Structure 1
Amino acid sequence: MTAITISPLAVPSSLNDEDAADFRLFGELSRQICDEHVGLPDLSPSAAEMLSEWQDATDSLHVGFVARMDGAVAGMVTLAYAQEEGAQTAEFDILVPEAQAGRGVERALLSRAEEDATSRGRSILQTWTLHRPQEQERMLMPTTGWGRIPATPLSDIIEGAGYTLEQVERNSEYDLRSDAADVRRMLADASASAGADYRVLSWTLPTPPELRDGYAAVLARLSTDAPSGDMDFVAEHYDADRVVRRDAMLTSAGQLVSVAAVEHVPTGELVAYNELLIGADRCGVTHQFGTLVASHHRGHRLGMIVKCANLLRWRELVPTSPVVSTFNAEENRPMLDINEAIGFVPVSYSGAWQKRV
């Protein structure tokens, strides 16, 4: 049997550097995996879009390992470590192409990821698997009881290594070429329902200085207010400086990001937001990043407001993008209700896996 060798993934200063070949391949492999698993290569960002986040470990440390067989790359595993004090999680992603599947590469990379995580004192290991929207003989149910996904060879390996399927997320797409009349109507209806205490603010990154503190506060809520089942996420700390760093990362390779937020007028607090992002190719897929309504302001249709307001703004900013892609927890029925009313349709699913060591 051919030996598998595993070495660290080099993080170059530039993708043009001599040591950048593996990182460029990482971007290509990540897109290939998304294509092979669910037929959606654009679920993954490019190497250029990921590089700045890997270079700055202030908020999240990223490391990776490359598996080779007979000198050729057979797969990779990447890990992300939140840097908040007391963080115990390690999030990892196993990338093995179909041509190399079933040769022991997945298990070797999984073991290397666990070894790295435990060496850094992390006791909660998390990973995600992609799944097509289809029924088959063996379907997997998460501990939340919401949604289910078809078993895959990779999910079998992860489950066999002691991980529990904690949550299922739905990946949905919205056709940006559809008639916008219904979105305008839903925005008007939701705005009337919310009343004068709430107003929409919108901007394109970078965030204006006067909004950074408020934006930081609502971004931090995503790690605590969004449904996450039994997945253990550290409460993220955000301040104006982190907003500046995040803005720079999200726009580092020519990406464009639009934000629609709702301000609670009596307090001046930002209490809901929605983000849309597209890469340098403005004809590509748009990705919805964060969407959240602060828990103490739910029930006023603010989720509908930020989603519709940003979709309408996006049509003017980027009229060439065909679709918006988003992920939502299957138990997050209020947000899925909004998506379905707007016109989002399921195209794939992901499984969230966790193990405590």
Structure 2
Amino acid sequence: MTTTDTNAIVIAPFVPPSAPHGPDAAELHELVALDNAVCLSDSGGDHLRQTAEEMLPGWLDQTDRLRRGFIARRGGRLVGALLMGFAAETGSVAGEFDLLIEPGQWGQGIEDALLDVGEAEARALGRTSLQAWSLHPVAEDAEPYVPRTGWGRATRTDLARFLASRGYELEQVERNSGFDLRNSLEIATAAYARAEAAAGDDYRVVAWTLPTPAELRAGFAAILSRLATDVPSGDLVIDEEAWDEGRVLRREARLAAAGSLVSVAAVEHVPSGALVAYNELLIGEDRSGVTHQYGTLVAKEHRGHRLGMLVKAANLLRWRELAPQSPQVSTFNAEENRPMLDINEAIGFVPLSYAAAWQRALV
């Protein structure tokens, strides 16, 4: 792409390095530092921090998800970035982006210049819907943004105001909840026992640490494929993504390259042998850092048996042994997903921040 110069702001594509600490990795580390600074500023906490090792693998392997990035510099200094992701399946129509502006640099044309380039890139890829997420602190706002779902509220941050000014509509708000792993797990232990009894003999828990055992890969791929379609998403345009054993292996290779430790607790439907629920917990190479929950899902046709509580409690109990130094679990759930929030609250999760999903049709 041709470099664009707008009011002394120079925008160029992000070129990922071959390794996180090679001679060509300086820009990657600038980007990670910017991302962490924005997350801290917008969410009010440092629980979403990531490293170059965690960011890079997804850029190097784009078999299953396309990535595009654009870097904004002024006077040679990185002042903003737009990071984009697209489903790779033929016929996909949606794209999403993270817009990162150095704190204190809003209103100087950086955000408009980056989004202009990003929207043009999405159109060039044939996408007709573009989505973005904004982070928000746990705080009151006299005139908050209200999503079209009616559930949750979003404070008027710089990014939220900008997206609204560019024609993006607030579709959904997610709650970012945290669980203090330093506390007793008595509540989780009791919750697991009750959920196991409620589920009955037709369901049993199976758990593993990545890599996924060969005999479970096909079933794991099948339940992962439903995360895009079985969770509440408001009116967001969601592309279905195909999963098979090969995609599971590629994903796990990226996670291994990042130095991540991942635990999966799943539920097998004994009569059919299918995996019908799962929960994933992940921590980076620093095992004393924050743990992230990557997904919890119960297949629609198996809801009502307390399987969500079963997998979440099972994995928390397992995690204490795997990552005893981690102080906290961070997870995101849609505000309208009351069943999952009820589970979180019953176990002891509390709000850390919020995330808002914005969408615009590209014409």
* TM-score of the aligned structures, taking structure 2 as reference length: 0.96
Q: 1:88 aligns with which of 67, 88, 93?
A: 93
Runs of 4+ in 1 over 4 A off after TM superposition: none
**Cα contact 2:39–2:135 (8 A) shared by 1:** yes
Which residue number in structure 2 is paired with residue 110 of structure 1?
Answer: 115
Structure 2 residue 40 is matched with structure 1 residue 35: yes
Instruction: Judge conservation of contact 2:42–2:157 (CA < 8 Å) in 1.
Output: no
* Comparing 80-89 and 9-18, the one that deviates more: 9-18
Structure 1 residues 150-299: aligned runs within 5 Å: 150-299=155-304
Deviations 1:108-151 (A, max 9, x none): 11111111111111111000000011112220100001011111
Aligned partners of 1:3, 1:189: CA distance in 2, in Å? 62
SS in 2 for 1:201: strand
- Counterpart residue identity of residue 252, structure 1: A
Secondary structure at 2:134's aligned position in 1? strand
Query: Residues 2 and 70 of structure 1 are in contact (CA less than 8 Å); yes or no, is this contact kept in structure 2?
Result: no
Query: Residues 266 and 311 of structure 2 are in contact (CA less than 8 Å); yes or no, is this contact kept in structure 1?
Result: yes
Over the matched positions of the two proteins, sequence identity in percent amounts to 55
Q: Which residue is 1:330 aligned to?
A: 335
- Cα deviation for residue 18 of structure 1 reads 2.8
Give the SS at the match of 2:326: coil
3-state secondary structure, aligned to 2:15: coil
Following TM superposition, by how much is the alpha carbon of 1:16 offset from its aligned partner in structure 2, in angstroms?
2.8
Q: Distance in 1 between matches of 2:350 and 2:21?
A: 39
2-side partners of 1:13 and 1:329: how far apart?
36
Pairwise mapping of residues 74-85 of structure 1 onto structure 2 (< 5 A)?
A: 74-85=79-90
Q: Distance in 1 between matches of 2:216 and 2:113?
A: 46
The CA deviation at 1:334 is: 0.3
SS in 1 for 2:215: helix
State the 1:2 CA deviation: 4.9
For 2:90 and 2:159, how far apart are their aligned partners in 1? 32
Report the Cα distance in structure 1 between the residues aligned to 2:23 and 2:254, rounded to whole angstroms: 23
Q: Which moved more, 1:284-293 or 1:38-47?
A: 38-47
Classify the secondary structure of the residue corresponding to 2:314: helix
Does residue 1:47 correspond to 2:52, yes or no?
A: yes
Q: CA RMSD in A?
A: 1.1
In structure 2, C-alpha distance between the alignment counterparts of 1:115 and 1:21, rounded to whole Å:
27
2: CA distance between counterparts of 1:179 and 1:285?
Answer: 17
Q: 1:122 is paired with a residue of what secondary structure? A: coil
- Shift of the alpha carbon at 1:19? 2.4
- Residue 17 of structure 1 and its aligned partner are, at CA, apart by 2.9
Question: 1:25 — aligned with what?
Answer: 30
> What is the rounded CA distance, in whole Å, between the counterparts of 2:237 and 2:263 in structure 1?
29
1:240-261 Cα offsets, whole Å, 9 max, x none, are: 0100011111221211000000
Say whether the 8 Å CA contact 1:133–1:149 is kept in structure 2.
Answer: no
Number of the residue aligned with 2:11: 6
Aligned residues: 357
- Contact 1:2–1:69 (CA<8 Å) still a contact in 2? no
Q: Give the 3-state SS of the residue equivalent to 1:251 in structure 2.
A: helix
Q: Structure 2: state its 5+ residue gaps.
A: 1-5
Aligned to 2:3: none
Distance 1:144 1:165 in 2: 9
Query: Is the CA contact 1:10–1:20 (under 8 Å) kept in the aligned structure 2?
Result: no
- Return the alpha-carbon distance in structure 2 between the equivalents of residues 19 and 199 of structure 1: 48
**Deviation sequence 1:284-340 (CA, Å, 0-9, x none):** 000000100000000000000000000000001111100100000000000000000
CA–CA separation in structure 1 for the residues paired with 2:297 and 2:65: 21
Structure 2 CA distance, aligned partners of 1:39 and 1:20?
28
Q: Secondary structure at the match of 2:56?
A: helix
Structure 1 residue 208, shift from structure 2 partner = 0.6
Give the alignment's TM-score, normalised by structure 1: 0.98
- Secondary structure of 1:41's counterpart equals coil
C-alpha contact 1:126 1:352 (8 A) present in aligned 2: yes
Distance in 2, Cα, partners of 1:228 & 1:2: 38
How far 1:78 sits from its partner (Å)?
0.6
Partner of 1:15: 20
Residue 300 of structure 1: aligned partner: 305
